[in-house]
Amino acid sequence: MSQSEPAIDVIATQLVRLHRLRDRALAQVKDRSGIDPAGFVVLFRLVCDGPMRSGALAEAVHSDASTVSRQVAQLVERGLVIRTADPDDGRATVLEVTTKGREVADRIRARRQESVAIVTEDWSAEDRASFAALLTRFVADYDSARLTLLARPAEPSTTCTENNS
């Protein structure tokens, strides 16, 4: 496979567009909810994986401890997460989602599913299934390649298309 393959450029360009559109939408969500979108990631990780220490949570969401600490503080302040004593080491704390936190996560998940359903409402069930499979594969492969990608030197982009916004 060549980097000059037209599909590679289209994928890369569309990922930039998607990222920018998502950033705009998340900024609007934060304005309505008062919760930083990164806090949603932390909340969902705790919902999916269960109670864990802050360091493990930072690793699970691919973030640094200080960033996760700020996000957790926001969630604790809103009553979505609580700190409890670690059953394995009483000196440490474990982060745990509250009932209110689970309800908020359920509402966010339902809203997210509704949004994707609206975007793909004109797609066939086969197209949605194909996209789901390819996107899952892409994200898994991206995660696997993440360290390799981070080790590469950054280079400024030299090409633009009218759909980059």
CA dihedral 56→133→120→32, nearest 10 degrees, is 0
Give the pLDDT confidence score for residue 3 in this predicted structure. Answer: 65
Place of tokens 């069930």: 125
Q: Encode pLDDT of 20-58 as tens digits.
A: 998 888 777 665 666 777 888 999 999 999 999 999 999
Nearest to 163 by CA among 8, 18, 36: 18
* H helix or E strand, kind and range, residue 94: strand 89-97
Q: Is the Cβ–Cβ distance between 86 and 92 less than 8 Å? A: yes
pLDDT tens per residue across span 98-116: 999 999 999 889 988 999 9
pLDDT at 36: 76
Tokens for 28, please give them: 């609007």
Please name the amino acid found at residue 32: R
The span from the CA of 44 to the CA of 119, in Å, is 22
